[in-house]
Structure 1
Amino acid sequence: MTRAALAALDAQSFDVIVVGGGVNGASAARDLSAAGYRTLVVDKGDFGSGASSRSSRLLHCGLRYLAPGRSLFDFVRHPGRFRTALRMAKLGMEARSEFVKACPERTAVMKLHFPVYRDGPYRGWQLDAAFRLLQALGPKDVPLDYERLSRAEVARSPLISGLRDQDKLASVARFREYQFDWPERVCLDAIGEAEQAGAVARNYTQAALSKPRADGLWRVTLTDLRSQAAPVTVAARSVVVTAGVWMDGLLHEAEPRAGRKIFGTKGCHIVVQLPPECRGLGVATLNSLQEPFYCLPWKHLHYFGPTETEYRGDPDRVFVTDDECDFLLREANRLFPGLGLTRSSVLFTWAGVRPLTYDENVPFGNRSRVLHDLSLDGLPNAFAMTAGPVMTHRSAGREILSAVAHKLQPSGPASRAGGAPTASPLAHAETLSDILFRRTGEAWTDPFEEDAMMRAAAEAGALLGWDEDRTRREIAAYRDEVDAIFRPGTRTVAPMREAPAA
């Protein structure tokens, strides 16, 4: 259930090293190893602990990509943007269908509503056209169930009957949508499938890249961030970087002239409790800044968000500030004036940084997924992926495999990846946070009470061989991670008391 010693990797050679064990890196490792490439995947934190765990969790149909901008004529003036929008919408529909069919246990279904206001930027016929286009672009096996509700149906419906400005409401579109019930587990499942196919996976392992020398092999120095073990060096014929907002720093260490790849934008969310009759119902709309804004169900709760702001802070300490919390509360109350939400209504919050594609022609980052061939940056046989959302991770893995295969043949035969991973549910778990956030998901649902946390720490200690001192340190580290993920002060566990015996 624990990681192999780092020393066991010293001087080993791989076909491909994947740096970044989020959902795209995990999918790439799965597909590469299944195709016969000897693959190593490493992450400086736990698998799935970065942007993969901080998204809006929406497995959306691609409707957002078809929004033209300020007016419909934006697509007319910029036909290239329309072609990109069609490509991304098609990917969205295909990803939605593929994931719902392959992993129904990892999805939650909802009824999502889009209100159309008479003074708003969109008309009902535009929504009708957009959904006809989505249905034409995507598979038909996971239907959208698109319909437009009458005023009488709106008045009778929970949640949407409380929408603002009912007198200006022209209509409400309703369609079936899905969300990732547990994105971290999706990532860990892919890591498990990669290992079944022969990959080596290691979390809490820092990678430093050195450019290939005369033999054409990359040298990668690996450092264990959870022990005092000496660093080791491994070799690889190719490197794939899926390190999200940490990517540019990693690449610049290998080649200072490498171009900028990432533009990070911050997305914040607040979680509240709405009446029971609102469960399974959500709203997709625009906020007062004309940016996408959601009220989405999550288990028995709802969350509002996201925000859209440039982020230049510490990518390891991303949380919702007071100003951001207040902004989201204002937008939530604007959408549903009758709720009267206040700070005391907020159960907890979370924020993440989207690793969008840097594009000097798109001031706020390009949302189009791009696989960069880094040979153009002086880094041969290396690739980096930007703006790969959780929802398209499966096609991202295939795209990375195709790019690698175009340059290198695998050293081994193809195997089969897929099905339920056979590894322990606690595989690669090193910390109490790993267990409560990524292996069980308990820390994301309800406020995790002191007694439950202490029991979990004792059970984890017994399984992983922690002594009393280690158990105490894990509890303290878990509290720190709660404070780092959730806005400080909105969700904490009780002060530390005597740790349970391991």
Structure 2
Amino acid sequence: MECRTQLMKTMPERLNKHTFFFPVFRDRMYPGWKVDLGYRALGLFGSRDAPLNYRRLPAKAAARQFGLVQLMDQSRLDSVGVFTEYQYNWAERICLDTVLDAEQCGATVRNYTKAVKLEPLPGRSWLVTLEDMREPGSTVQVRASILINAAGPWADQVNGQAVQNPRKRLVGIKGVNVMVKLPDECHGLGMETISSIGQPFYCMPWGKYHFFGPTEAVFDGNPEDVRVLPEEVEFILNEANKLFPSLALSREDVVYTWSGVRPRTASTGHEGVKSLTIHDMEGDGMPNALTLTGTPIMLHRHAGRAIARKVKQMLRPSQKEKPLSYEAKLFPENQNSPPIDYDFPGVKVADLRHAAAHEHVETLVDLLFRRVPLGWNIGMGLSSARHAAEAVADILDWDEERVTAEVSNYTHFVQENFNPSWPAPVQG
């Protein structure tokens, strides 16, 4: 709640304020009084700047007031917890805003750069070999007093480059989401509950659409290879239909799907998985090395402060402290610039060009998903991909062949990772 409040106060452009519900069903394990207790306890950690505004309404009263509640199974619904949720609307951009501020404070930022070798040196320092993934074989070496491994679901792989068989620090948890179109009266409304197998389940508003999810399953493969499976889509649709039987959602209602891997902290015994943990890797033969696991996007600032405190105990600062800016990095106002897609007027050609010039763009996927939100629009930027590539070609030094390749790679990325229900446009 503290992290949510801070983000809402300092970066409101990256959050969407919505009304959410927690349905209380007569046949479920959470009666109304338990739901009240949980949310009121949660509300104690909030603030006036981002209040939870929790209250519980009888089923009939809530159904009269809210379209999403009308669609719930009224034969089982006893009451509905109602609260204010602040949705993190763009994880990639939140990450980028943070990186750009680090650069402003003096950090060297390298996109598409892989640590291919980690070597401990005498004196508890490190020699790290970096490879430019855009130019395979092009490497440099950097020395560091402290090594911080914040590679998310790849953290164990990174540690494996320094020592043989390091202890497993994370458990990859695969999550799948399914996008659908609900009736218009559900616009801006969402829901959180517990699924039939005891896992978190939500219905999240996304513009004029909603997505259901997630699944939660251990994933041991390469995070880059994670893909949505048909049985995972069926599970999510079945869970949605148990909550909203009148929708009768089927595979034909799916607009697109996507999946990812969350880096939970591994535990031993019967503890399962844990949340945010900073591992001191000394016992693994990695002196002056820290590994971070279990950090979802909503805790990224808390994790950063925790790491900074830990590093400060280990190393004296080499420069004076510089103020951080927690603000969203917004594009310059340019009302005369036309939108790149008139069906999504919030992204202008000038925005693309600014991002290409100042925000470490290497690919069209970078540009449309991680610098501007066109890729997360329902059309996923497919119809305007070539126009976007051509708009920044002079800045990124892309010739016609590179433009065509970027558009093709972008289309493949969308098809491979989201499986949209509409065919890919023919590229001329």
Identify whether the pair has TM-score above 0.5, normalized to the shorter chain.
Answer: yes
CA distance in 1, matches of 2:330, 2:176: 35
Q: Equivalent residue for 1:159?
A: 68
Alignment check: 8 A CA contact 1:262 1:357 kept: yes
Deviation at 1:215, TM superposition (A): 3.5
CA deviation profile, 1:282-303 (whole Å, cap 9, x unmatched): 1111222121111110111100
Q: Equivalent residue for 1:445?
A: 377
CA distance in 1, matches of 2:100, 2:183: 38
**The one of 305, 314, 328 aligned to 1:398:** 305
Q: Equivalent residue for 2:345?
A: none
Alignment check: 8 A CA contact 1:216 1:237 kept: yes
Q: Equivalent residue for 2:322?
A: 415
CA distance in 1, matches of 2:268, 2:400: 53
Q: Equivalent residue for 2:414?
A: 482
Q: Equivalent residue for 1:345?
A: 253
Q: Equivalent residue for 1:278?
A: 186
Letter matched to residue 407 of structure 1 = M
CA distance in 2, matches of 1:455, 1:249: 38
Alignment check: 8 A CA contact 1:209 1:218 kept: no
Letter matched to residue 493 of structure 1 = A
CA distance in 2, matches of 1:266, 1:448: 23
CA distance in 2, matches of 1:304, 1:252: 36
Give the structure-2-normalised TM-score.
0.90
Q: Equivalent residue for 1:109?
A: 17
Alignment check: 8 A CA contact 1:242 1:385 kept: yes
Q: Equivalent residue for 2:152?
A: 244
1:119 equivalent to 2:27? Answer yes
1:335 equivalent to 2:267? Answer no
Alignment check: 8 A CA contact 1:263 1:356 kept: yes
Q: Equivalent residue for 1:375?
A: 282
Q: Equivalent residue for 2:216?
A: 308
CA deviation profile, 1:208-246 (whole Å, cap 9, x unmatched): 343322243200000011114521111000111111111
Letter matched to residue 178 of structure 1 = Y
1:217 equivalent to 2:164? Answer no
Letter matched to residue 104 of structure 1 = P
Distance 1:422-1:217 versus aligned 2 partners, 3 A rule? farther
Alignment check: 8 A CA contact 1:448 1:493 kept: no
- Taking the TM superposition and a 5 Å limit, the aligned residue runs for 1:462-501 are 462-487=394-419, 490=421, 493-495=424-426, 497-498=427-428
Gaps of 5+ in 1: 1-92
Q: Equivalent residue for 2:205?
A: 297
Greater CA drift, 310-319 or 196-205: 310-319
Identity of aligned residues (%): 40
**The one of 276, 289, 292 aligned to 1:385:** 292
Distance 1:111-1:422 versus aligned 2 partners, 3 A rule? closer
Deviation at 1:365, TM superposition (A): 2.4
Distance 1:299-1:451 versus aligned 2 partners, 3 A rule? closer
Q: Equivalent residue for 2:227?
A: 319
CA distance in 1, matches of 2:131, 2:306: 29
Alignment check: 8 A CA contact 2:374 2:381 kept: no
1:425 equivalent to 2:355? Answer yes
Distance 1:318-1:483 versus aligned 2 partners, 3 A rule? farther
CA distance in 1, matches of 2:422, 2:394: 27
CA deviation profile, 1:326-363 (whole Å, cap 9, x unmatched): 11111111111111212121111111111001112246
CA distance in 2, matches of 1:360, 1:425: 44
CA distance in 2, matches of 1:231, 1:190: 26
Letter matched to residue 494 of structure 1 = P
CA distance in 2, matches of 1:477, 1:282: 34
CA distance in 2, matches of 1:373, 1:449: 43
Letter matched to residue 88 of structure 2 = F
Alignment check: 8 A CA contact 1:264 1:365 kept: no
CA distance in 1, matches of 2:77, 2:277: 38
Distance 1:262-1:492 versus aligned 2 partners, 3 A rule? farther
For these two proteins, the number of residue pairs brought into alignment is: 402
CA distance in 2, matches of 1:364, 1:493: 42
CA distance in 2, matches of 1:440, 1:104: 16
Distance 1:304-1:390 versus aligned 2 partners, 3 A rule? same
CA distance in 2, matches of 1:409, 1:118: 58
CA distance in 1, matches of 2:245, 2:395: 49
CA deviation profile, 1:448-498 (whole Å, cap 9, x unmatched): 4654122112112233120011111111211221133213x6465224x33
Letter matched to residue 30 of structure 2 = Y
CA distance in 2, matches of 1:464, 1:262: 37
Q: Which has the higher contact order (CA 8 A, sep 6+)?
A: 1
Deviation at 1:113, TM superposition (A): 0.4
Deviation at 1:144, TM superposition (A): 0.7
Q: Equivalent residue for 1:456?
A: 388
Instruction: Say what the alpha-carbon RMSD is for the aligned residues.
Output: 1.8
Alignment check: 8 A CA contact 1:106 1:186 kept: yes
Give the structure-1-normalised TM-score.
0.77
1:208 equivalent to 2:116? Answer yes
Letter matched to residue 271 of structure 1 = M
Alignment check: 8 A CA contact 1:239 1:382 kept: yes
Letter matched to residue 285 of structure 2 = G
Distance 1:211-1:227 versus aligned 2 partners, 3 A rule? closer
